[in-house]
Amino acid sequence: MFVWVAYDISDNNLRTRIADHCKDLGLVRFQKSIFLGESDRATLQMLASLIRREMEEDASGEEDSVAIGTLCGSCQKSLITLGKPVDGSKYRRRPFVIIG
């Protein structure tokens, strides 16, 4: 499924940790506070848990927020973007091989 994460976080350290979690789980930065990518339900739940824990441990941001959502195939096709176009292939999972 196609996933998006958007956040408004005032603390630089917390914001960096959340961005790192998004990258670690294969999401790609679309804007400074928006990540897109493909994920499965289990990985999405893990990301939500990681972000929830980070936010609970950082008591400085009661006004901070994170939104995580999914887009179905038809929703992706009907997405309207202005300015920078959304190249869906950039956000698709890339196959990988573990060597070791």
Residue numbers belonging to the annotated binding site for Mg(2+): 8
Query: How would you classify the pairing of strands 2-8 and 34-38?
Result: antiparallel
Annotated binding-site members:
8
Q: Could you tell me the end-to-end alpha-carbon distance of the chain, in angstroms, rounded to an integer?
A: 29
Question: What is the DSSP-derived secondary structure letter of residue 93?
Answer: P
